[in-house]
């Protein structure tokens, strides 16, 4: 094993398993990229990780949706806790659904990508944020949205004001009263129109199915707007780096960029420095591979950072960029919201 160098690339290969079933890895330093090249990769990872943070926002909605669906399968008349639990699962889902939209609303209000832009005028940032805000408002405009969106929105408002979701059950399905929702003075015209198409009792599972589908489409539209020149350049940098790795014949899906402060890590129990530990055990890895977190036996406050590299995600994103480009998505957004051709 080579020594871990700060500001350098490294990867791991599996060499076997331990007696207790854990995977064993060998550390390899990578000399394909110099410090400048590694720095460019690190910057590109930072840019795409910001994008991936918004990409991951839908997981909370999907998890809550699945929890509701799973609980609905257990609905039983002989269990007094069954109906309240299903109700709670649905309320958790529909509130998570709205929280997804609120997150993006806050993201734009807080400056979105512009908070990271350097050398860009305040006027250009303001123009970008105004375009993003207009786009976001158009995407979620109830007048242009489906009945599924409007039903989810009106039921979310209903439960937000401390109301239960379930008004009726046949112990196979759960329902909410259409007329009760219609009588709410907060219901807007689009929501009213969607409600008037429904049966007297609305199947909440159908509502959930439609709601999770429409929020996925909204998510895709918002991500399309966020794909700008900076993210495109970052994706290209990482794709080129990955191609270079493949050309070198290196096969590993566990990569990191090593970062180390001027302070030496010291083991709490033994008092030995990281350098001393590594000298005695060249195969020692000072962080957990699954989490890329420094092992807890080192003193707190010493900075040692390992940035994980997710090559499959970067390559997939580069493929997405190519698709968007071929479909003209950027061009259409730029023309409508910025008044320019992409």
Give the residue from 157, 178, 155, 180 showing the smallest Cα distance to 165. Answer: 155
Predicted local confidence at residue 294, as pLDDT: 56
Categorise residue 10: left if φ over 0, alpha if ψ from -120 to 50, beta otherwise: beta
At 25 the pLDDT is 78
Alpha-carbon Rg for the chain in angstroms: 26
Whether the predicted model's global pTM rises above the 0.95 cut: no
Rounded CA-CA distance 342/229 in Å is 10
Best CA proximity match to 211, nearest among 103, 104, 107, 93: 93
Q: Which pLDDT belongs to residue 302?
A: 44
What DSSP character marks residue 112? G
Per-residue pLDDT of the chain in tens (342 residues, 90 and over written 9): 445 555 788 888 888 777 777 777 787 888 899 889 999 999 999 899 888 889 889 999 999 999 999 999 999 999 999 999 999 999 999 999 999 999 999 999 999 989 988 899 999 999 999 999 999 999 999 999 999 999 999 999 999 998 999 999 999 999 999 999 999 999 999 999 999 999 999 999 999 999 999 999 999 999 999 887 788 889 999 999 999 999 999 988 889 887 654 445 667 667 777 767 777 877 777 666 665 555 656 554 444 567 889 999 999 988 888 788 778 887 888 889 988 654
Q: What is the pLDDT of residue 300?
A: 40
The pLDDT of residue 278: 73
Q: What is the pLDDT of residue 22?
A: 75
What pLDDT score was predicted for residue 228?
A: 79
111's tokens: 């400056």
Query: Which pLDDT value is given to residue 178?
Result: 97
Helix residue ranges, H only, the chain: 35-55, 58-73, 82-109, 122-139, 147-160, 178-182, 189-195, 204-226, 229-247, 274-280, 311-327, 329-333
């Amino acid at each position: 094993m080579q020594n871990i160098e700060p500001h350098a690339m490294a990867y791991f290969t599996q060499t076997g398993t331990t007696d207790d079933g854990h995977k064993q890895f060998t550390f390899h330093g990578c000399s394909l990229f110099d410090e400048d090249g590694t720095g460019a990769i690190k910057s590109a990872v930072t840019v795409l990780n910001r994008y991936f943070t918004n990409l991951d926002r839908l997981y909370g909605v999907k998890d809550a949706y699945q929890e509701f669906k799973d609980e609905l399968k257990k609905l039983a008349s002989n269990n007094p806790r069954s109906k309240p639990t299903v109700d709670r699962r649905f309320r958790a889902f529909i509130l998570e659904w709205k929280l997804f939209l609120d997150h993006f609303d806050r993201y734009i209000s807080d400056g979105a990508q512009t908070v990271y832009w350097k050398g860009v005028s305040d006027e250009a940032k303001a123009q970008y944020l105004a375009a993003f805000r207009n786009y976001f408002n158009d995407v979620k405009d109830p007048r242009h949205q489906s009945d599924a969106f409007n039903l989810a929105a009106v039921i979310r408002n209903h439960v937000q004001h401390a109301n239960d979701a379930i008004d009726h059950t046949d112990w196979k399905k759960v329902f909410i009263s259409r007329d009760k929702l219609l009588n709410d003075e907060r219901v807007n015209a689009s929501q009213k129109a969607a409600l008037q198409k429904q049966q007297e009792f609305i199947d909440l599972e159908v509502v959930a199915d439609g709601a999770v589908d429409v929020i996925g489409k909204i998510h895709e539209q918002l991500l399309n707007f966020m794909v700008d020149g900076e993210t495109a350049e970052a994706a290209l940098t990482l794709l080129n780096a990955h191609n270079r790795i493949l050309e070198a014949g290196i096969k590993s899906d566990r990569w990191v960029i090593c970062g180390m402060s001027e302070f030496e890590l010291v083991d709490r129990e033994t008092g030995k420095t990281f350098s001393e530990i590594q000298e005695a055990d060249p195969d020692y890895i000072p962080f957990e591979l699954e989490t890329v977190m420094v092992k807890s036996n080192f003193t707190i406050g010493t900075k040692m950072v390992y940035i994980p590299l997710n090559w499959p995600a970067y390559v997939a994103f580069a493929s997405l960029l190519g698709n968007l480009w071929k479909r003209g998505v950027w061009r259409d957004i730029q023309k409508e919201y910025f008044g320019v051709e992409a």
